[in-house]
Structures are given as C-alpha cells and as structure tokens.
C-alpha cells in the first residue's frame, strides 16, 4: 500500500467535532505510508485538538486563519494548495462544514480550499456528528448535493456517541479512512473516467428525483436446520451502493437486503429478509408501486425441501447426509412479467465462460430490460470486493464494457444506463 501513498500530497481537513482527536492518528498513519500531509483546520476544530499537535505529526505548518501571513507567500495560496495536492479528505466533517461546502460559503480556510479543488482532485468527506444531526433532513440534503457534485462520502459508523445515544454518526476507524484514500488514489483514472465522461449528475438527479426505486442486495440463507444453512459469498456492497446513490439523487428507495455486515445507507427504507422465499415475497409486494427495479441480490437457486427443526445430530445422521433441494422462485423473471410499460427492470449475471453470449441469453430468458454482467475471469469483479468490472447489456442491443471502478461509481454508471434506456 505504501507505494500508492509515496510522495502524494494529501490535505487533511479537520473540523469542530469531538472526533477531531482521531485526525492525529490519520495524519500519523498517512505520514508512515509516505504521503506528504498538510493540515487545514476550522477555528472550531482548535477547541478539540491543537494545531501544534498536528504540526508535529505532519511536519508541516497547519493553517487555521485564511489570512495567515505565513500562508500568503505564494499569492493566491488557497488556489495553489488546491491545485498542487493529489487528494483532500475532511475527517471529521461537522454538519456546519458540510453545509458550507454544499452551498459554497467560503468563510474559512478549509471550505475555501475544498471549493477551489480542480475536478480531477478527489474530495473525501467523512461526516461525524450525533445521529439525530446526521439523519436530519438538512444534512441529508447537503449529502445528496455533495454526492451529485462528485464528492466521495464515507458513511459514518454505528455505535455509541458522545451524547450517550447509539446510532450512525461515529467517525470510522482510521484503517477504513486510509483504505478509502488508497482505493481512490489507486483507481483515480478509472473514477475520473466514470464520473467525468459517462454520466451527467445534474441530469441524473433531475431524472431520479421523486422516482421510486426497488433494490435487492446481498445473499439469501436457505436453512438446512436451525443451525446450518446454504448461502453464497455476496457481500451486498454493489446493491447497497446502488441504493445509496439512488437516494442521494433524490429517489425514494426500498432496499430489500439479505444478511450482510454493512450499515444501510441513510434515507432508505430497509426491508431485511433471509430466505429466497422472503426476498421473493417482499420484491413482488413492493415492485408494483416502483418505477425501477434493480435486482442485484445473489438469490439462492435451490433450497432444501425439508428444513429440520432444531439441530441435526451427527450421530443420528451417520456417515452420509443427503439433502433434497428444489428450485426457488425466479424473482427476476416474475418481476419482468409483472412490469408495466413504464417500469424498467435490471438484473445481474455472474459468468465465467462465454460471458457476453450467456449474458444475452439471460437477458432474453428473464425478459428484463437490462443485465449488468460481472465476469468471474476478471480481477476486481464480483463478490466481496470494493471494486467491480462490469458490462451492461440491454434489450435494445446495446453492449457496453466499462473499466474497473469502485462499486459506487459502477452504481452511477448503472443508473445512467437505466436513464438512457
């Protein structure tokens, strides 16, 4: 990982949040990895951690005052700083700073630099505040605005907050922040390729605002007995990214999720299910009122005919166990059959040989509008990764390959493909 950070110029913004003390650990870790770190603080941040601490750790002067004479040696210092860095991260980012960046109120050094960043320089924001503030309509509106502007948002972690309440709002652990920075630095070209050339965010927002989107995500669990079950390696990351981006673009999102280990996006109606049957019932029930269905869940193809009560004992079974399976209901096919002319249905396919040919066959067999094809033969594709390499096929004959991208960028590409269908 250190090769990714070597000689990279990273601006770390620190705002007035109780989590500001964690910025010292972030700066130290980035320095250990070989990055050159420059810290910009809001005046409120100095109430939580001193500039001297961050100067010692970064080995560079810390800027708080926008008119600091030491920062003026280069003329338009904020423009130079914004253009000379490789990436800027604001961690923690308070609700106040979030709103200022979203609306362009440049009344301090940190917001001024964030606003002055060129389009090719990634800006990462990690909100940290009490859950009641994070979930407030104002903060959620500002997050949608920032996301539509191409800002990378790291969702806060769930847990105990300084108020004593429990909920979303904690600054994620430092390794999560560093991994996000690493991911964006290493795939900067692909992300720029996706965000700058393959969709118009304002157009997407106009299209999806107030639309209803149904998303399925994650694996299903098919019980053998009350202890054992059949499942697959789906992490749910792709579906959750689609749900998050849809919501940020103004859509009313229903996320039907199998068991996963990731926090749900804010402002999304979450329906938790376990089995393929439960996912089928929830999908059919909710699809009628939706404009779009994006079925990314890895639903089990088979389920045990008999599900034993309690736990089967090994000594009662003997040396061999035969489990009789039956096919589960086909959610994608039945949703496609139910759809009205105005509804668009998107499915997913994971293939390892003759990918395009098999993807087209699935598109035709399932009678859907769009298939997002994942290839098992490509690196950074499919289950359990933060990245994905996709091909999009549609019923009008379009076949479009995309480079490896972060799943959040894949989500926007998929949403753009639906818009253009």
Q: Which residues are catalytic?
A: 232
Beta-bridge partner residues of 346: 294, 370
Distance CA 214, CA 291 (A): 8
Euclidean distance between CA atoms 150 and 160, whole angstroms? 30
Residue 232: DSSP 8-state = -
CA-based nearest residue to 406, from 204, 165, 210, 240: 240
For 418, the 3-state DSSP assignment is: helix
Q: Pairing mode, if any, of strands 87-93 and 9-14? A: parallel
Q: What CA–CA distance (Å, rounded) separates 33 from 357?
A: 44
Q: How far is CA 122 from CA 11, 82, 117, 127, 150, in A?
A: 11, 11, 8, 16, 8
Find the helix or strand (DSSP H, E) in which 253 lies.
Answer: strand 252-257
SS3 assignment for 402-417: CCCEEHHHHHHHHHHH
Q: How buried is 43 (Cβ within 10 angstroms: 0-12 exposed, 13-18 middle, 19+ buried)?
A: middle
**Within a 13 Å sphere around the CA of 265, how many CA atoms are in the beta-carbon half?**
31
All residues at 6 or more sequence positions from 378 whose CB lies less than 8 Å from its CB, including other chains: 389, 404
Say if residues 5 and 33 touch (Cβ distance below 8 Å): yes
Q: Do the Cβ atoms of 394 and 421 come closer than 8 Å?
A: yes
Using an 8 Å Cβ cutoff, are 348 and 390 in contact?
no
Largest CA distance in the chain: 82
Helix (H) or strand (E) holding 157: strand 157-160
Q: Which of 253, 338, 337, 341 is nearest to 296 (CA)?
A: 253
Nearest residue to 409 via CA among 201, 177, 103: 201
206 three-class SS: helix
């Amino acid at each position: 990982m250190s090769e990714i950070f070597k000689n990279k110029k990273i601006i770390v913004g620190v705002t007035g949040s109780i989590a500001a003390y964690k910025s010292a650990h972030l700066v130290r870790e980035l320095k250990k990895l070989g990055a050159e770190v420059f810290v910009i603080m809001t005046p409120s941040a100095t109430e939580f951690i001193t500039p001297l601490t961050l100067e010692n750790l970064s080995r560079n002067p810390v800027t708080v005052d926008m008119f600091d004479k030491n920062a003026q040696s280069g003329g338009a210092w904020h423009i130079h700083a914004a253009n000379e860095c490789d990436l800027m991260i604001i961690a923690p980012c308070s609700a106040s700073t979030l709103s200022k960046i979203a609306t362009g109120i440049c009344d301090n050094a940190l917001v001024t630099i964030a606003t002055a960043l060129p389009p090719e320089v990634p800006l990462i924001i990690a909100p940290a505040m009490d859950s009641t503030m994070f979930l407030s309509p104002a903060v959620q509106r500002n997050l949608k605005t920032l996301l539509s502007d191409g800002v990378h948002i790291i969702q806060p972690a769930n847990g105990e907050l300084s108020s004593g309440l429990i909920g979303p709002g904690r600054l994620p652990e430092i390794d999560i922040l560093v991994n996000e920075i690493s991911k964006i630095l290493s795939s900067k070209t692909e992300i720029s390729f996706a965000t700058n050339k393959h969709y118009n965010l304002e157009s997407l927002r106009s299209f999806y605002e107030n639309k209803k989107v149904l998303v399925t995500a994650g694996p299903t669990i098919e019980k053998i007995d009350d202890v054992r079950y059949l499942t697959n390696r789906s992490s749910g990351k792709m579906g959750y990214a689609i749900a998050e981006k849809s919501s940020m673009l103004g859509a009313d999102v229903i996320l039907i999720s199998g068991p996963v280990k990731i926090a749900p996006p804010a402002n999304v109606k979450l329906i938790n299910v376990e089995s393929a049957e439960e996912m089928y019932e929830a999908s059919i029930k909710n699809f009628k009122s939706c404009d779009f269905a994006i079925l990314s869940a890895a639903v089990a193809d088979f389920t045990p005919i008999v599900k034993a009560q309690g736990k089967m004992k090994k000594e009662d079974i003997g040396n061999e166990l035969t489990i009789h399976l039956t096919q589960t209901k086909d959610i994608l096919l039945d949703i496609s059959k139910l759809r009205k002319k105005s509804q668009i249905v998107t499915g997913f396919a994971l293939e390892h040989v003759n990918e395009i040919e098999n993807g087209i066959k699935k598109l035709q067999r399932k009678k859907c509008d769009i298939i997002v094809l994942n290839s098992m033969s490509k690196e950074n594709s499919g289950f359990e990764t933060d990245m994905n390499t996709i091909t999009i096929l549609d019923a009008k004959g379009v076949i479009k390959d995309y480079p490896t991208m972060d799943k959040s960028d894949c989500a926007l590409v998929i949403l753009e493909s639906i818009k253009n269908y």
